[in-house]
Copies of this chain bind each other. A is one copy, B any other.
């Protein structure tokens, strides 16, 4: 499936990722139709068409699918059954979604692709938690298997934690317990894979989280060129196994242990917050490359042009917009969300630094 300018891409999900995808599509002469349950979805404001509908409304989804040439998503928690039932081509294909929706399945899949992952155990009860801590040691991280993002559904357990209270705190839902990785840095590989199987990867930033939410991505990042290339190869292998079309991100722990310098933490079958720097720091943004891939078009160059720091504007951070406008190095991105509340991603700022000396690159 190769689209032509003027064709329409369907996007499931109407948040900031869908919004930035729709803007990238518009620049390339492609229209978007956004499907999302919330009538105040930020992506609606920049797309030619939108539908307010629930992700399990089969009739509304069918009408949406009939109106577009190809469908993609900005949100990995769209029900797999809804996506599988669509009559229109979905890129990336539903198996990527299924894998990413279950932390246990995801870890097994990544390990099977040859990626190092944290030791972990499935836990379905307080008793399982006690057994898993005995096996993996403490501290350890308890995470719900499904519907987690931005640190939601996670808890750090110590040897003193009451397993029953911990299990209740995450909603007594199916979960996994992971060993605590003593990482020296966090990074991520954002890779795009085209319908013709070619891949391109962006430079891997140093990612800084607080309270489970990404705060900053800093380029250049923490990896030496050999390790960075190895990370990109592993993500390309994952993408190939899924016959993936679009942008795929894997977050890594960088470990001091030379036996496993990189440990895969999470996979996101979509454009990723740690790739937002690409809008102002790379020749082609992650959003444009996702749209190019979904359209069946060739990918654009991912060359990084400048040193750059992406900073998320979370909750009341967005009140600083006027200060960022005064900074000549700051590129402000606001998502058009109405009220801010704690933890809500309202926008981001890319602080553009020195040009990359291309003559010095390998």
Q: Residues on A close to B: CB < 8 A?
A: 5-6, 19, 22-23, 26-29, 31, 44-48, 283, 292, 297-298, 300-301, 303, 305, 318, 321-322, 325-326, 328-329, 331-336, 338, 347, 352, 355, 358
How far, in angstroms, from A300 to B330 measured CA to CA in the complex? 9
How far, in angstroms, from A19 to B328 measured CA to CA in the complex? 25
- Copy tally for this chain in the complex stands at 2
Residue numbers in B under 8 Å from A333 (CB-CB): 27-28
CB contact between A26 and one of B23, B305, B325, B328 (< 8 Å): that residue:
B23
5 A-B residue pairings within 8 Å (CB atoms): A19-B26, A27-B332, A44-B48, A46-B46, A283-B328
Are A46 and B29 within 8 A (Cβ)?
no
Are B28 and A46 within 8 A (Cβ)?
no
Residue numbers in B under 8 Å from A347 (CB-CB): 29
Are B328 and A27 within 8 A (Cβ)?
no
CB contact between A292 and one of B292, B300, B325 (< 8 Å): that residue:
B325
Residue numbers in B under 8 Å from A358 (CB-CB): 355
How close is A350's CB to chain B, nearest CB, in angstroms? 11
Are A332 and B28 within 8 A (Cβ)?
yes
CB contact between A45 and one of B31, B44, B322, B332 (< 8 Å): that residue:
B31
How far, in angstroms, from A31 to B336 measured CA to CA in the complex? 8
How far, in angstroms, from A336 to B334 measured CA to CA in the complex? 24
List the 4 shortest-distance A-B pairs measured between CB atoms, nearest first. A29-B334, A301-B328, A45-B48, A355-B355
Residue numbers in B under 8 Å from A301 (CB-CB): 328-329
